[in-house]
Chains A and B, each alone.
Chain A
Amino acid sequence: MPKWWWRSSKKERNNEHHLMTLFATERMEDYVALSLALVILILVLVLH
């Protein structure tokens, strides 16, 4: 397997503790989840 294909991230190599979330706060993640759920709901109701 070529090295570039499975190159680990810098953080991983340093083996630092890090919490893996994309969002700065839990609240922000909640709002994104709510927005996506709303989009899904609208699409389901429109498509069916």
Chain B
Amino acid sequence: MPSNKALLVIKTIPGILLMLAIAVFTRGASDFGFPQWPGIEAYFASNEHSQKFLIDILHLNYILLSIIIGMLIRNIFTIPAWAVTGIKTSSLFIKLGVILLGSMYSVVDVARLGGTGIIIVSVFVILTLSFTLWLAKKADMDPASAAVLSAGTAICGVSAIIAAAPAVRAKTTDVVYSIATILSFGVACLFIFPLVGTLVGLSPHQFGVWAGTGILNSGQILAACLTFDPETAHHASVSLKTGQIYNIIRVIFLPFVVLILAVFTTRSAPLEGDDININTSLWSRFPVFVIGFLVMVFLTSFGLLGQTSPPSPELIFIRKLYSWFFAIGLAGLGMQISFSELRRAGGKPLAVGTAAAVFKAVGALVVVMLLISEQP
């Protein structure tokens, strides 16, 4: 009913404003015409010692601060009832940001980054999938539980688990354990990846390849890339540009992996009436928002959004818009991280999932250091 939908849209506003308030608190309000509030990150940068330790080493920039504030609100105060509906839109903001991010690339960029990306991502998807399934079999996990966990470690974390769960007939407990395992590792990645990247001296492009391959969850790839190489009005984040291409390639693998896992579980534990319709499964799992990203790449490449160098006012506006969408979405992502839910991770899924995720992260770091050049 239209009136119900209108009411639902209105109910999202307080939560969206809360996420925006966190983003403004950390990022500053100069884009809204209030240069008097430069953001909490600017205060850290104003002191030499805090700049060196908190920003240069720990990369405690507005992205990480927004997530930390969100996590504190969720876990210390709990989310206020009036904000719940709005905070549920955080993944929508991230997807909207990813679509608009397409305006940063040309077709040539996508072909250049994507060429290497397809090879690296497909090797890691196959290796991680096989490794997780093998380890789960050794640990005597049931096939459905192993399948959802391997989807989470091989593809894009939580979305992959949700997409794979009905296809492999996973139980709710399998899904909860797998999500908790993937999110626990993802939270650790937010802090560890930028720190390790700095210590081993990765360039922004190399970091983007590592994060896009090694981190399990799409939102956390975004956050880690922006933490390592923050985007400003005068600097487009190279890590984000590279990391997001790798992430999108990985997301595109999702329907194929879900299908493989469905075949694997059907063969491991067949039920009466099991049959898999390839066409329906592939299309029904395809992440259609990726099409929007590709359309933006084409529009930018063919000059429909004005010149790219120097960027037209249209492109500058879109770039500002998506960085705010990311800031809002990631503040919401922080509020989605519940420590009590993370504590539910345990036993075999935690051990197998962590081993697979560490295997992937370390393997990706070695490949990046050996094979990926500093510049794209």
Cα distance, A6 to B92, chains bound together (Å): 25
| Contact yes or no, B292 A33, CB < 8 A | yes
DSSP majority for the B interface? helix
Given contacts A21-B91, A22-B89, contact A31 B288 (CB under 8 A): yes
Given contacts A9-B81, A12-B79, A15-B340, contact A36 B314 (CB under 8 A): no
Taking CB atoms, residues of chain B closer than 8 Å to A36 are 92, 96
Given contacts A17-B176, A44-B317, A48-B313, contact A8 B78 (CB under 8 A): yes
How many residue-residue contacts, CB under 8 A, span A and B? 95
Cα distance, A22 to B90, chains bound together (Å): 9
Chain A's closest residue to B81 (CB) is A9
Instruction: Report the count of interface residues on B (CB-CB < 8 A).
Output: 46
B274-320, CB < 8 A from A: 284, 287-289, 291-292, 296, 299, 305-306, 312-314, 317-318
Cα distance, A17 to B91, chains bound together (Å): 17
Instruction: Report the count of interface residues on A (CB-CB < 8 A).
Output: 31
Q: Determine whether B169 belongs to the interface, using a CB cutoff of 8 Å to chain A.
A: no
Cα distance, A22 to B158, chains bound together (Å): 16
Taking CB atoms, residues of chain B closer than 8 Å to A19 are 158, 162, 179
| Contact yes or no, A20 B95, CB < 8 A | no
Chain B's closest residue to A23 (CB) is B92
DSSP majority for the A interface? helix
| Contact yes or no, A29 B92, CB < 8 A | yes
Q: Determine whether B321 belongs to the interface, using a CB cutoff of 8 Å to chain A.
A: yes
Taking CB atoms, residues of chain B closer than 8 Å to A44 are 305, 314, 317-318
B335 to chain A, nearest CB (A): 8
A31 to chain B, nearest CB (A): 7
B318 to chain A, nearest CB (A): 6
Taking CB atoms, residues of chain A closer than 8 Å to B179 are 19
Q: Determine whether B259 belongs to the interface, using a CB cutoff of 8 Å to chain A.
A: no
Cα distance, A22 to B306, chains bound together (Å): 35
